[in-house]
Amino acid sequence: MEPRLEEHFHEDSYGYRPGKSARQALDRARRRCWDYPWVVDLDIKGFFDTIDHELLMRALQKHTVTSRVDFDARSHAFRGRA
């Protein structure tokens, strides 16, 4: 599943990505500070609690061919959601 989804991620996405590290993310952030005179400060603590999970599941199903994704996403990633 990973190789098929990898092409859809933004090049500056570093979280849990193959071949990318926290150090690379910090280096990119440092370079961006010199390129742009502004900063966006946001708190994503509750982001996944408010995302439309049906929409997310449709996006996952569009880019995968395995039913395991549906099981894993519903039983693990969204555990505890009412």
* Residue 29 φ/ψ region, left for φ over 0, alpha for ψ in the -120 to 50 degree band, beta for the rest: alpha
For 56-81, the pLDDT digits (tens) are 888 877 877 665 655 565 545 555 55
Radius of gyration of the chain (CA): 16
Which among 23, 24, 19, 15 is positioned nearest to 3, based on CA atoms?
Answer: 19
Q: What per-residue confidence (pLDDT) applies to 80?
A: 52
Q: What per-residue confidence (pLDDT) applies to 54?
A: 85
Six-digit token string for 77: 């990633």
What gap in Å lies between CA 9 and CA 26, rounded to an integer? 18
For 42-51, the pLDDT digits (tens) are 877 777 788 8
Q: Are 61 and 69 in contact (CB under 8 A)?
A: yes
Taking the complete model, does pTM exceed 0.85, yes or no? no
